[in-house]
Chains A and B, each alone.
Chain A
Amino acid sequence: MDDLAQIAKEVRRTIIHLAHRSKGPHVGAALSCADILSVLYFRVLRLDPWEKRDIFILSKAHAAMALYSTLHGKGIISDEQIAGYYKDNGTLPAHLDRFTSNYIEVSAGSLGHGFNIGLGMALGFKKKNEARKVYTLIGDGESQEGSIWEGALFAPKLGLDNFTAIMDFNNLQGYGRACDLCSFQPIKLKWEAFGWHVIEIDGHDYEALQSACMENTNGKPKIIIANTIKGKGVSFMEDQLIWHYYIVNDEHKASALEELK
């Protein structure tokens, strides 16, 4: 799995470049899920042929920099495209617009949407007898949305075992910790009580992520609770509230890239 470490590091380096150049927020959220996206795109998702591809939906779309950087690493998003991120007359917006690039499956930005779109797609594939899988990444903050729980109630009944949600559980949102703001815990028991196949893992452990994605669920939809560290990979950003919105300046960028050598 050494090469995945390399791949994820490169994704993180791209994230730092994008965050620095754009002077935009959400670098912490993007770094948090860089390992998850690397595993998905380099180990799990079937991307060819196009008509039979698996679907990944970034429901927590404020981490779009992580998706762009991963697709760039995969050779799907070009150097030119990524150079136009968050720019006047640019190519890629801060939140997702599916008309900007192949493999941006869903336009998203407002939380609690992509998850439910994914459920609909998963049922559609089942009805069409297509062996395609749907993966979506949600946040712990996003899990405060009522729509998530509306969908959670229906997915087991519909037998959506081709659907996997991954929760990027970094326990840091815009202005606090999910576990302090609301009665978030015990989150694993909540999903289990809803009838989901729940796996809790270290969200930065490549092997654990891959095997959780592959695990059979006996007909149930799956949620992987990935315990992560917001800002992961850059020591001074790790688990720091400010790095949800803080802007990466020249100095931050230099130190971050030094760590990500």
Chain B
Amino acid sequence: MRNTFVNTIVEAFKNRTDIFIVSGDAGLGVFDEFKETYSDRFLNLGIAEQNMASFSAGLSMAGFKVYAYNIIPFLLYRCYEQVRNDICYQKLPVVLVGIGSGITYAFQGMTHYSVEDIGIVQTLPNLKVFSPIDPIEAKLAAYYSLKSEFPVYVRLAKRGEPNIHKSDNFEITDPQLIEEGELVAIIFHGSIGEEVMKAGEMLQAKGIYPRLISLPMVIPIDTERLFYMLTGIKYVVTVEEHFVNCGIGNLLSNEYAKANPRWKLFNLGIPTKFIHEIKDLKGMREHFGISASKISDFIKQLLIKGEA
């Protein structure tokens, strides 16, 4: 989905002279061809994240549509105050393109994971946030970002994720019904989509048909529409490759408390602890209870006991 997003932006360069990409010395191979063709509007700003964020704000003020590309911790955490003051507070249409969502960078270690970014961007007014499940959602998020007058943050995994959607004819700002189902619904976003789809298949083999809903736009969430989509559902399970205390599970818990709907809400995610485990991505997801089989087991238990 990383390449699809970047290629969609690069495609737009053909018709627009106001787009500029800055990278924080990241994106091996992603920009090689592009750098040759549009060398005038690409800049590697080196390993200087604070400067890159403020600099992007300045380029934006001079009239450019700026895409700032980096690994998520170096895009948002290292320079949080620059993103807050210089991009969001000034309300500039800078697009923050973050790579390596969740633990997709396993085995790189905790410094390179981004399991709290949605918690952090919740604190940034004006910022629109996308977490695509597949290249199609990534492409539509790219289209949205090209037109946005607000700052945008797009949370991407790596590359090679399969398409889940069958068509690209939908509104990227809406929650998406991926698969119809009954009794239990799974709400998810980001690269964990793969595991959720597999969990769906495992459950179907046991005669359980969960309703699958993706949230490509995680901030703001159209909760009215989402809650309507949950009509007839008894159990809602959020699944995300993110700390469980500050992701969409947490966002929805707040809304849930206000709306007090007929369904019960359960949140699956990574426990809020520093990750010292040395495992591959598959092993990590299994360990943290967000692999296909763990999601499937959780839902089976839920239906047997009526509680988790």
Interface of A with B (CB < 8 Å)? Answer: 98, 105-110, 112-113, 115-125, 127-128, 130, 146-147, 150-151, 153-154
Contact = CB atoms under 8 A, between A and B. Distances in A.
A40 B81 CA distance: 29
A121 B62 contact: yes
B51 A150 contact: yes
Contact of A113 (B56, B61, B63, B82): B82
A127 B41 contact: yes
Contacts of A120: 54-62
B85 interface: yes
B85 to A, nearest CB: 6
Given A120-B62, A121-B62, A147-B82, A113 B54 contact: yes
Contacts of B4: none
A228 B81 CA distance: 29
Interface residues of B, number: 26
Contacts, number: 92
Given A116-B54, A116-B55, A121 B61 contact: yes
B170 interface: no
Contacts of A125: 62
A128 B62 CA distance: 9
A115 B63 CA distance: 18
A113 B86 contact: yes
B284 to A, nearest CB: 33
24 contacts: A106-B86, A107-B85, A107-B90, A110-B85, A113-B54, A113-B81, A115-B54, A116-B50, A116-B55, A116-B86, A117-B55, A117-B57, A120-B58, A120-B60, A120-B61, A120-B62, A122-B58, A123-B43, A127-B40, A127-B41, A127-B62, A128-B62, A130-B62, A154-B51
Contacts of A150: 48, 50-51
A129 B41 CA distance: 13
Contacts of B221: none
Contact of A151 (B51, B56, B64, B85): B51
Interface string B76-102: 000001100110011000000000000
Contacts of B51: 116, 119, 147, 150-151, 154
A91 B59 CA distance: 28
Given A121-B58, A127-B41, 20 more contacts: A106-B90, A110-B81, A112-B50, A113-B81, A116-B50, A116-B51, A117-B61, A120-B54, A120-B60, A120-B62, A124-B20, A124-B58, A124-B62, A130-B62, A146-B50, A147-B50, A151-B51, A151-B54, A153-B46, A154-B51
A260 B54 CA distance: 38
B45 interface: yes
A187 B56 CA distance: 27
B201 to A, nearest CB: 48
Contacts of A118: 58
Nearest to A97: B89
Contacts of A113: 54, 81-82, 85-86
A113 B48 CA distance: 13
A96 to B, nearest CB: 10
A117 B89 CA distance: 13
Contacts of A119: 51, 54-55, 58
